[in-house]
Amino acid sequence: MTVRQADFLMAIATILMSLGLMWSSTDGLAIGWVSGKGPGSGFWPFWLAVGMLLCSLATLVRWFLRHTPESRSTEIYMSRSAVVVVGTSVGALIALLVGIHIVGTYFALLAFLLFYLKVIGRHEWPLTVMLVGGIPVFIFSLFEWALQIPLPKALTEEWFYPVFDIMYETDYFWMYILGSFLFLGAVSLALHKFLPGQDR
Protein backbone atom coordinates (compact mmCIF):
# COMPACT_ATOMS: atom_id res chain seq x y z
CA MET A 1 0.00 0.00 0.00
CA THR A 2 1.35 3.40 -0.91
CA VAL A 3 1.07 6.51 1.20
CA ARG A 4 -1.37 7.90 -1.38
CA GLN A 5 -3.67 4.91 -0.97
CA ALA A 6 -3.38 5.07 2.81
CA ASP A 7 -4.24 8.77 2.80
CA PHE A 8 -7.39 8.00 0.80
CA LEU A 9 -8.41 5.18 3.15
CA MET A 10 -7.78 7.34 6.21
CA ALA A 11 -9.94 10.13 4.77
CA ILE A 12 -12.74 7.61 4.22
CA ALA A 13 -12.23 6.32 7.78
CA THR A 14 -12.42 9.84 9.25
CA ILE A 15 -15.58 10.52 7.23
CA LEU A 16 -17.16 7.38 8.67
CA MET A 17 -15.93 8.37 12.14
CA SER A 18 -17.50 11.82 11.79
CA LEU A 19 -20.79 10.36 10.60
CA GLY A 20 -20.77 7.90 13.50
CA LEU A 21 -20.17 10.70 16.00
CA MET A 22 -22.93 12.80 14.42
CA TRP A 23 -25.30 9.87 14.65
CA SER A 24 -24.35 9.21 18.30
CA SER A 25 -24.87 12.89 19.15
CA THR A 26 -28.47 12.81 17.98
CA ASP A 27 -29.27 9.85 20.23
CA GLY A 28 -31.84 11.37 22.59
CA LEU A 29 -30.04 14.71 22.74
CA ALA A 30 -31.05 18.12 21.47
CA ILE A 31 -28.61 19.15 18.74
CA GLY A 32 -30.23 22.48 18.07
CA TRP A 33 -30.27 25.87 19.76
CA VAL A 34 -32.81 25.74 22.57
CA SER A 35 -34.62 29.06 22.62
CA GLY A 36 -33.69 31.13 25.68
CA LYS A 37 -31.26 28.49 26.94
CA GLY A 38 -28.53 28.35 24.35
CA PRO A 39 -27.13 25.17 22.82
CA GLY A 40 -28.72 21.81 23.68
CA SER A 41 -26.88 18.84 25.08
CA GLY A 42 -26.07 17.38 21.66
CA PHE A 43 -25.18 20.71 20.08
CA TRP A 44 -21.48 20.69 20.86
CA PRO A 45 -20.62 17.13 19.77
CA PHE A 46 -22.95 17.21 16.75
CA TRP A 47 -21.74 20.41 15.14
CA LEU A 48 -18.11 19.68 15.94
CA ALA A 49 -18.58 16.31 14.26
CA VAL A 50 -20.04 18.15 11.27
CA GLY A 51 -16.84 20.19 11.27
CA MET A 52 -14.84 16.95 11.34
CA LEU A 53 -16.82 15.74 8.34
CA LEU A 54 -16.09 18.96 6.43
CA CYS A 55 -12.38 18.69 7.23
CA SER A 56 -12.33 15.08 6.09
CA LEU A 57 -14.11 16.04 2.86
CA ALA A 58 -11.56 18.81 2.35
CA THR A 59 -8.79 16.27 2.80
CA LEU A 60 -10.49 14.04 0.25
CA VAL A 61 -10.82 16.88 -2.26
CA ARG A 62 -7.17 17.78 -1.76
CA TRP A 63 -6.35 14.13 -2.28
CA PHE A 64 -8.11 14.12 -5.66
CA LEU A 65 -6.39 17.37 -6.60
CA ARG A 66 -3.06 16.02 -5.32
CA HIS A 67 -2.51 19.14 -3.22
CA THR A 68 -0.78 17.55 -0.22
CA PRO A 69 2.57 15.75 -0.16
CA GLU A 70 0.86 12.58 1.13
CA SER A 71 -1.57 12.53 -1.78
CA ARG A 72 1.31 12.65 -4.23
CA SER A 73 3.58 10.21 -2.46
CA THR A 74 3.95 6.78 -3.99
CA GLU A 75 6.21 5.55 -1.22
CA ILE A 76 5.25 2.44 0.71
CA TYR A 77 3.01 3.34 3.69
CA MET A 78 4.31 0.51 5.83
CA SER A 79 7.11 -1.67 4.67
CA ARG A 80 6.90 -5.40 5.32
CA SER A 81 9.50 -5.18 8.07
CA ALA A 82 7.66 -2.28 9.71
CA VAL A 83 4.44 -4.26 9.66
CA VAL A 84 6.24 -7.15 11.35
CA VAL A 85 7.92 -5.00 14.01
CA VAL A 86 4.88 -2.86 14.83
CA GLY A 87 2.48 -5.77 14.42
CA THR A 88 4.30 -7.99 16.91
CA SER A 89 4.38 -5.19 19.46
CA VAL A 90 0.70 -4.39 19.05
CA GLY A 91 -0.12 -8.11 19.10
CA ALA A 92 1.92 -8.58 22.27
CA LEU A 93 0.14 -5.63 23.87
CA ILE A 94 -3.28 -7.03 22.97
CA ALA A 95 -2.22 -10.39 24.40
CA LEU A 96 -1.03 -8.59 27.53
CA LEU A 97 -4.41 -6.90 28.02
CA VAL A 98 -6.31 -10.13 27.40
CA GLY A 99 -3.95 -11.81 29.84
CA ILE A 100 -4.68 -9.17 32.48
CA HIS A 101 -8.37 -10.06 32.23
CA ILE A 102 -7.62 -13.76 32.70
CA VAL A 103 -4.54 -14.28 34.86
CA GLY A 104 -4.23 -10.77 36.26
CA THR A 105 -1.68 -8.02 35.78
CA TYR A 106 1.37 -9.59 37.34
CA PHE A 107 1.41 -12.94 35.56
CA ALA A 108 0.43 -11.33 32.27
CA LEU A 109 3.34 -8.90 32.70
CA LEU A 110 5.68 -11.83 33.29
CA ALA A 111 4.68 -13.47 30.03
CA PHE A 112 4.77 -10.21 28.10
CA LEU A 113 8.23 -9.27 29.33
CA LEU A 114 9.58 -12.74 28.71
CA PHE A 115 8.27 -12.68 25.14
CA TYR A 116 9.46 -9.18 24.46
CA LEU A 117 12.93 -9.46 25.95
CA LYS A 118 13.77 -12.96 24.86
CA VAL A 119 11.94 -13.39 21.55
CA ILE A 120 11.98 -9.86 20.15
CA GLY A 121 14.95 -8.40 21.97
CA ARG A 122 17.05 -11.63 22.01
CA HIS A 123 18.66 -10.51 25.22
CA GLU A 124 20.88 -12.74 27.26
CA TRP A 125 19.30 -14.67 30.09
CA PRO A 126 20.69 -12.70 33.06
CA LEU A 127 19.17 -9.45 31.86
CA THR A 128 15.92 -11.17 30.90
CA VAL A 129 15.56 -12.91 34.28
CA MET A 130 16.38 -9.72 36.10
CA LEU A 131 13.78 -7.66 34.25
CA VAL A 132 11.09 -10.34 34.01
CA GLY A 133 11.30 -10.84 37.75
CA GLY A 134 12.15 -7.30 38.73
CA ILE A 135 9.55 -5.27 36.86
CA PRO A 136 6.47 -7.05 38.26
CA VAL A 137 7.99 -6.89 41.75
CA PHE A 138 8.69 -3.20 41.23
CA ILE A 139 5.17 -2.54 39.90
CA PHE A 140 3.67 -4.49 42.79
CA SER A 141 5.63 -2.67 45.44
CA LEU A 142 4.93 0.71 43.87
CA PHE A 143 1.23 0.28 43.15
CA GLU A 144 -0.13 -2.15 45.72
CA TRP A 145 2.19 -1.21 48.54
CA ALA A 146 3.34 2.37 48.25
CA LEU A 147 0.51 4.00 46.30
CA GLN A 148 -2.28 1.61 47.27
CA ILE A 149 -3.69 1.32 43.78
CA PRO A 150 -4.83 -2.30 43.42
CA LEU A 151 -4.14 -3.61 39.91
CA PRO A 152 -6.49 -6.25 38.48
CA LYS A 153 -5.56 -9.79 39.48
CA ALA A 154 -8.52 -11.73 38.03
CA LEU A 155 -8.16 -15.46 38.63
CA THR A 156 -4.94 -15.14 40.59
CA GLU A 157 -6.56 -12.87 43.19
CA GLU A 158 -6.33 -15.37 46.04
CA TRP A 159 -2.72 -16.20 45.30
CA PHE A 160 -1.90 -12.76 46.62
CA TYR A 161 -3.57 -13.23 50.00
CA PRO A 162 -0.38 -14.62 51.61
CA VAL A 163 1.53 -11.66 50.16
CA PHE A 164 -0.96 -9.26 51.75
CA ASP A 165 -0.63 -11.19 55.01
CA ILE A 166 3.10 -10.52 55.04
CA MET A 167 2.65 -7.01 53.74
CA TYR A 168 0.20 -5.79 56.36
CA GLU A 169 0.95 -8.02 59.32
CA THR A 170 4.67 -7.56 59.57
CA ASP A 171 6.46 -4.29 59.95
CA TYR A 172 9.38 -5.26 57.78
CA PHE A 173 7.77 -5.67 54.39
CA TRP A 174 10.28 -3.33 52.83
CA MET A 175 12.95 -5.90 53.71
CA TYR A 176 11.20 -8.51 51.60
CA ILE A 177 11.04 -6.14 48.69
CA LEU A 178 14.67 -5.20 49.04
CA GLY A 179 15.50 -8.87 49.43
CA SER A 180 13.66 -9.82 46.27
CA PHE A 181 15.57 -7.24 44.28
CA LEU A 182 18.88 -8.41 45.75
CA PHE A 183 17.95 -12.02 45.04
CA LEU A 184 17.09 -11.25 41.43
CA GLY A 185 20.30 -9.31 41.09
CA ALA A 186 22.31 -12.20 42.50
CA VAL A 187 20.59 -14.72 40.22
CA SER A 188 21.23 -12.64 37.14
CA LEU A 189 24.84 -12.04 38.13
CA ALA A 190 25.34 -15.76 38.67
CA LEU A 191 23.74 -16.58 35.35
CA HIS A 192 25.82 -13.92 33.71
CA LYS A 193 28.97 -15.52 35.04
CA PHE A 194 28.17 -19.01 33.79
CA LEU A 195 26.26 -18.19 30.63
CA PRO A 196 28.03 -15.29 28.95
CA GLY A 197 25.66 -13.34 26.71
CA GLN A 198 25.88 -12.94 22.97
CA ASP A 199 25.68 -9.20 22.48
CA ARG A 200 27.88 -7.87 25.16
Partner 1 sequence: METILISLAGGLLQAFEPLNLMMIVLGCTVGLFVGAMPGLGSVNGVAILLPITFLVPPTAAIIFLAAVYYGAMYGGAISSITLGIPGASTAVATVFDGRPLAMAGKADQALTAAAIASFIGGTISVVLFTLFAPPLADFALKFGPPEEFALMVLAFATFIGLGGDDIPKTIFSILIGLVLAAVGLDIISGKPRLIFFDASGFLHGVNFLVLAIGIYGIGEMLWTLETTGGKVIVHKVKMSVAGFMANIRSVRTYIKSTSLGSVLGYFVGTLPAAGATPASLMSYGLAKTFSRDPDSFGKGNIAGVAAPEAANNAASTGSMLPMITLGIPGSPTTAILLGGMIIWGLRPGPLLFTERPDFVWGLIGSLYVANLFTVLINLAFIPVFVRVLTLPFTVLAPVIFVLCIVGGYAPTQTMHDVWLMLLFGVMGYLMRKLNYPVAPAVLAIVLGPLAERSLRQSLLSSQGDVLIFVERPISATCIALAAALMLYPLFLAWRRRREAAAGDSGSHPGASG
Partner 2 sequence: MPTLRKFLVGTAFALGALSVSLVGPAHADWKPRKPVEFIIMAGTGGGADQIARLLQGLIEKKDLSPRPFIPINKPGGSGAEALLYLKDKAGDDHTVLVTLNSFYTTPIIQTDLGVDISTFTPIGRMALDTFLLWVHADNTEITDLDSYVAAVKAAGTEWKVGGTGSGQEDSILTAMMESEFGYEVTYIPFPGGGTVAKNLIGKHIDSTVNNPAEQNEFYRAGQSKPLVQFTPERMAAYPDIPTAQELGHDIVYFMQRSINGPPGMSAEARAWYIDLFKTLFDSEEWQTFCVEDGLTCDEWVAGDDLAAFHAEQGMRHRELIESVGAEAITGE
| Binding residues among 109-168 for partner 1 as defined by CB under 8 A | 109, 112-113, 116-117, 120-123, 127, 131, 135, 139, 142-143, 146-152
Helix (H, G, I), strand (E, B) or coil at 34: strand
Task: Check binding of 198 to partner 1 (CB under 8 A).
Answer: no
The answer for residues whose C-beta is within 8 angstroms of residue 151's C-beta and 6 or more apart is 104, 105, 106, 139, 140, 143, 144
Shortest distance in whole angstroms from residue 48 CB to partner 2: 18
Measuring CA to CA, how many Å separate 170 from each of 68, 87, 97, 158, 167? 65, 45, 33, 19, 6
CA 16 to the chain's CA centroid: 24
DSSP 115: I
Shortest distance in whole angstroms from residue 98 CB to partner 2: 19
The answer for residues whose C-beta is within 8 angstroms of residue 12's C-beta and 6 or more apart is 60
| Beta bridge partners of residue 2, listed in sequence order | 76
Shortest distance in whole angstroms from residue 110 CB to partner 1: 11
Judged by beta carbon, residue 3 or residue 163, the one nearer partner 1 is: 3
Stated as kind and residue range, the H or E segment containing 111 is helix 80-114
Task: Check binding of 41 to partner 2 (CB under 8 A).
Answer: yes
Taking CB under 8 A as the criterion, the residue among 37, 80, 193, 200 binding partner 2 is 37
Going residue by residue from 6 to 35, which x/- string records binding to partner 1, judged by CB under 8 A? xx--x---x--x---x--xx--xxx--xxx
Judged by beta carbon, residue 87 or residue 150, the one nearer partner 2 is: 150
Provide DSSP, 118-167.
Answer: IIIS---HHHHHHHHHHHHHHHHIIIIIII--PPP-GGGGGGGHHHHHHH
Chain positions 137 to 196 lying near partner 2, rule: CB under 8 A, are: 144, 148-150, 157, 160-161, 164-165, 168-169
Going residue by residue from 88 to 127, which x/- string records binding to partner 2, judged by CB under 8 A? ----------------------------------------
Task: Check binding of 34 to partner 2 (CB under 8 A).
Answer: yes
